[in-house]
Chains A and B, each alone.
Chain A
Amino acid sequence: MRDALIQAVIEVAKTDDRIWLLTGDLGYSVLEPLRDAIGCRFINAGIAEQNMTGVAAGLALAGKIVFTYSIANFPTLRCLEQIRNDVCYHNLPVKIVAVGGGLAYGSLGYTHHAVEDIAIMRSLPNMTVLAPGDPNEAKSCLRHAINCPGPTYVRLGKAGEQAIHSSIPDRIDTPIEVLSGRDITVLATGGGLSVAFQACKKLTAEGVSPRLLSVPCLHPIDLTGLCGPIVTVEDHGIGGLGSIVAEHVALTHVDAIVKCVRLHGTPTSLTGSMSQLQNAGGLSEETVIAAVNGLLSRRKYLNVA
């Protein structure tokens, strides 16, 4: 996913000299081709994310489209006030790219787990929040980010994610149907997509017909028409996709019932791979399947579709 996005940035930046990229001294052995392609518009700003973000705002004030790049929470939470005041308040085209969304950095520990970022970024004014679920979505998100006139947050996994889509989606501003189905809607984002995809395939084999929608664009979001039993799946804690859908249901009074499969939010203090930590945190194929079956068994008691 990371490599897909970097390649896409290179392709666009070659012909669009408004594009700059600042890194907080991360991306070793990843960003070099981009550096070679765009020369002085690539800047290693050092390990100083607050300054990096303020510099990005200054460049953007002068008409540039500026990517800031780092991992986990460093380009977001470390410099949150620069994003809020300098970038979002002035509605500037700064594109924040974080590698390692969710628990992608597994054993590196809680400092490197971005599990509150979606909630925080989507609460900022003018911000577009993107969390692609596979490399094809990542490329489409890059296009969307550059076309967005204002601030954008792109939350990536790491590398080697399974491709869910067979081609690059044309648009990512509304949920994308991955599997059609009639019994229940499963909405998934970011690292939750592959978990939800596998779970839905198992459910299908068991005779359930789930509709799977991928939600790479979390904010702003159009959920018109969404109703009935809904399960959300994400590698994030409170305030993410589950909260977004619950807000939609509460604010629009549609007939729906929502079950959120998300990380329970307790910082992990144990070593483990991404999927081991996801399992421990409450995100797994089994929890998705249990949530779907739980809702379907309750449906007969509820006045929903």
Chain B
Amino acid sequence: MINSVDLARTARLHAVKMVHRAKASHIGSALSMIDILAVLYSGILDTQPGRDDRDRIIVSKGHAAVGLYAILAETGFFPVEELDSYGQPGSRLLGHVSHHVPGVEVSTGSLGHGMPIACGLALAIKQCVVCIVGDGELNEGTTWESALFAGKHSLTNLTVIVDHNRLQGYGDVDEILGLGSISKKFAQFGWSTVEIDGHNHDQIRNALATNQTRPNLIIAHTVKGKGVDFMEGSLDWHYKSPNTEELANACRQLEAA
């Protein structure tokens, strides 16, 4: 079993360096999701590539690709050195999650595509299917189409984790298209729901370990930009890329964590 806390710290460091080098966006979204990924890839699921009976993880919030790439490289899906190619011409490490990268099940980037695909996989296989979505992404109509579908078909091997960092394109998710109680909505669609601290690895692990009798929704309360104080809770870091000074500051904080 990999130490998920160490994995998350290392992945965060990779992620900030990657977006700095590539002058890329979405670092805040990657940092809010990394603890969830670190737990998922620490050994509690069997994600060994090439095996038909592997568990499947779909990252539907494809813009947070650097977080996933860093985790996949650190857990042996491809060489860590390849992370340096992120955003460089000819690299397969695209700005949105690409299935041409080893370990990636599905390409995403246009929001609202992960959950329906996860439903199809969960129907077809007995293994666990985990799908990570953003809270802004829940605006998409497919969220609710697939939520109905999963409830109707009692997809007990399906877990959807909402990275609930409360910020989307223009700001607060409650102000842009208020969701009300995500938990109550999904419960009415026939899901079991649980709310956790999305940066607490024990809570993430426990939420995943539940014996499911229904499709499982984990609402992970997270902080956008988690781990770097000047990025935390700031919409700017959905778009900005850290300059040299900001990168050095971010790395100092992450190394000390």
Contact = CB atoms under 8 A, between A and B. Distances in A.
B179 interface: no
A86 B153 CA distance: 21
Nearest to B109: A85
A81 B111 CA distance: 11
B148 A50 contact: no
Contact of A50 (B52, B118, B142): B142
Interface in A9-65: 43, 45-46, 48, 50-64
A90 interface: yes
B120 A54 contact: yes
Contacts of A61: 105-106, 117, 120-121, 124
Contacts of B208: none
Given A85-B107, A90-B99, A90-B107, A55 B117 contact: yes
B237 interface: no
A265 B149 CA distance: 37
Contacts of B52: 62-63
Contacts of B124: 58-59, 61-64
A82 interface: yes
Interface residues of A, number: 26
A55 B52 CA distance: 18
Contact of B117 (A43, A63, A81, A86): A86
Interface string A58-77: 11111110100000000000
Interface in B114-160: 115-125, 141-142, 145-146, 148-149, 152-153
Given A55-B149, A62-B124, A90 B141 contact: no
Contacts of B123: 43, 55, 58-59
Contact of A54 (B99, B107, B142): B142
Tell me if B's interface is mostly helix, strand, loop or mixed: helix
Contact of B120 (A59, A81, A85): A59
B128 to A, nearest CB: 13
B213 interface: no
B113 interface: yes
Contacts of B249: none
A54 B121 contact: no
B48 interface: no
Contacts of A82: 113, 116, 142
Contacts of A89: 99, 107
B106 to A, nearest CB: 7
B120 A56 contact: yes
A62 B119 CA distance: 12
Question: Which has the most chain B C-beta neighbours within 10 Å: A45, A52, A54?
Answer: A54
Interface in A85-126: 85-86, 89-90
Given A48-B145, A48-B148, A59-B124, A54 B110 contact: no
A43 B150 CA distance: 13
A54 B119 contact: yes
B107 A58 contact: no
Contacts of A52: 116
B120 A58 contact: yes
Nearest to A59: B120
A54 B146 contact: yes
Contacts of A43: 123, 153
Contact of A58 (B109, B112, B116): B116
A61 B57 CA distance: 13
A29 B117 CA distance: 29
B101 to A, nearest CB: 13
A57 B117 CA distance: 6
A83 to B, nearest CB: 11
Contacts of B148: 46, 48, 51
28 contacts: A46-B145, A46-B148, A50-B141, A50-B142, A51-B119, A51-B142, A51-B148, A54-B115, A54-B117, A54-B119, A54-B142, A55-B119, A55-B146, A56-B120, A58-B118, A58-B119, A58-B124, A59-B123, A60-B120, A61-B106, A62-B124, A62-B125, A66-B120, A81-B110, A81-B113, A82-B142, A89-B107, A90-B99
Interface of B: 52, 99, 105-107, 109-110, 112-113, 115-125, 141-142, 145-146, 148-149, 152-153
Given A51-B146, A62-B125, A63-B52, 16 more contacts: A43-B123, A46-B148, A46-B149, A48-B149, A54-B142, A54-B146, A55-B120, A55-B123, A56-B120, A57-B120, A58-B118, A61-B105, A61-B106, A61-B121, A85-B109, A86-B106
